[in-house]
Amino acid sequence: MLPTPNDARWLAAAARLALRGRPASHPNPAVGCIIVKDGCVVGRGWTQSGGRPHAEAMALATAGDAATGADVFVTLEPCAHQSDRGPACADLLAAARPARVIAGQRDPDPRTAGKGIERLNGAGIAAQAVECPESAASLAGYLSQAKLHRPYVTLKLALSLDGCIAMADGTSQWITGAAARAHVHSRRALADAILVGGGTWHADAPRLDVRLPGLDARSPRRWVLTSHAIDGVQTIASPADIALIPAQYLYIEGGARTAASILAADLVDRLEIYRAPILIGGGRPAVAEIGLAELAQAHDRWQPVERRTLGPDTFEAFVRTRGES
């Protein structure tokens, strides 16, 4: 049974809260939990650094006795397996005696998969796992690893109006303005790992870190797509090796060839485009050949999910439309 519109609103709020745990919760998923009683929030939490405590434990700690008889909204089914780092969240919730527990996604981990809900129902608590789009989006990296056995991949491109990422001689600093560049750093801070192509690495020597006040410690691990070893940096030889990168969220910044190789391999889950109001004319295109045999193959691949203005520039995000894999 799908949640009521009001339940859906609380699940969406829990999904936004879950972002606070990303990517520090790695290797655990970043989960958000909100406890509501009489229409008021009495507890909330998100997965902490290193994966513990879990979101439910944090929310229950803040709610205290108010959790009894309350409604619990959590983005992922409460875990049912014991750990040397703490009790199962399903057991913590059962002890707290809320009236209801609504999970935005069933946990694909076989140690829990349905068992968390069953345990709560067995304890007399009305619990269910529903398919909440906001919960799924907030858990995209975790679900990608579970279902596709690879990170959730975001490809970032900064373009001119005529689709160029650089002048003909390779000059690319700066196409976009300060607000757009700061936004890129905020996006980097949500990734476990960042990847560039070997050409970009050798030509620009990018730092690939997060340079925002208070977020410098959130810089992702650096990877380079190249067939040659590079001191101090992890490398992969081809897009097929992306599955070897130990991350839930991979952020890719690269030149036309890197972008093309990842797109041609159909590994991009989210496309983020920063477009500056400039014309370059005769510059370097954003994406090289990706192997389309006919124009019809280009349609119905991308769904727009976000658009905003960043100073003079425009940011647009698209997610890949694909069936279940």
**Res 117 pLDDT > 90:** yes
Percent of the chain with pLDDT over 90: 71
Catalytic, 56? Answer: yes
Question: Does residue 255 belong to any structural domain of this protein?
Answer: yes
How many domains are there within the chain? 2
**pTM, rounded to two decimals:** 0.92
Question: Does residue 199 belong to any structural domain of this protein?
Answer: yes
Range of the domain at 189: 150-320
If one compares 81 and 57, the residue with the highest pLDDT of the two is 57
From 24-28, 202-206, 283-287, the region with the lowest mean pLDDT: 202-206
Question: Does residue 325 belong to any structural domain of this protein?
Answer: no
Q: What's the whole-number mean pLDDT along residues 159-181?
A: 86
pLDDT tens, position by position, 217-234: 889 999 999 988 888 889
Which CATH number characterizes residue 129's domain? 3.40.140.10
Do 131 and 178 lie in a common domain?
A: no
Most confident of 42-46, 199-203, 291-295: 42-46
What pLDDT is stored for residue 285 in this prediction? 85
pLDDT tens, position by position, 265-321: 999 999 999 999 999 888 888 888 787 788 878 887 899 999 999 999 999 999 998
SS (H, E, C) the chain: CCCCHHHHHHHHHHHHHHHHHCCCCCCCCCCEEEEEECCEEEEEEECCHHHCCCHHHHHHHHHHHHHCCCEEEECCCCCCCCECCECCHHHHHHHHCCCEEEECCCCCCCCCCCHHHHHHHHCCCEEEECCCHHHHHHCHHHHHHHHHCCCEEEEEEEECCCCEEECCCCCCCCCCCHHHHHHHHHHHCCCCEEEEEHHHHHHHCCCCCCCCCCCHHHCCEEEEECCCCECCEEEECCHHHHHHCCCCEEEEECCHHHHHHHHHCCCCCEEEEEECCCCCCCCEECCCCCCCCCHHHHCCCEEEEEEEEECCEEEEEEEECCCCC
Confidence of residue 323 (pLDDT cuts 50, 70, 90): low
Which CATH number characterizes residue 309's domain? 3.40.430.10
Do 212 and 98 lie in a common domain?
A: no
Question: Does residue 264 belong to any structural domain of this protein?
Answer: yes
- Which residue, of 114, 142, 170, is where some domain finishes? 142
Do 87 and 179 lie in a common domain?
A: no
Do 137 and 156 lie in a common domain?
A: no
Do 273 and 252 lie in a common domain?
A: yes
Question: Does residue 170 belong to any structural domain of this protein?
Answer: yes
What pLDDT is stored for residue 325 in this prediction? 40
Residue from 56, 77, 253, 272 carrying the catalytic annotation: 56
What pLDDT is stored for residue 163 in this prediction? 87
pLDDT tens, position by position, 63-100: 999 999 999 999 999 999 877 777 899 999 999 999 99
Do 137 and 155 lie in a common domain?
A: no
What pLDDT is stored for residue 324 in this prediction? 46
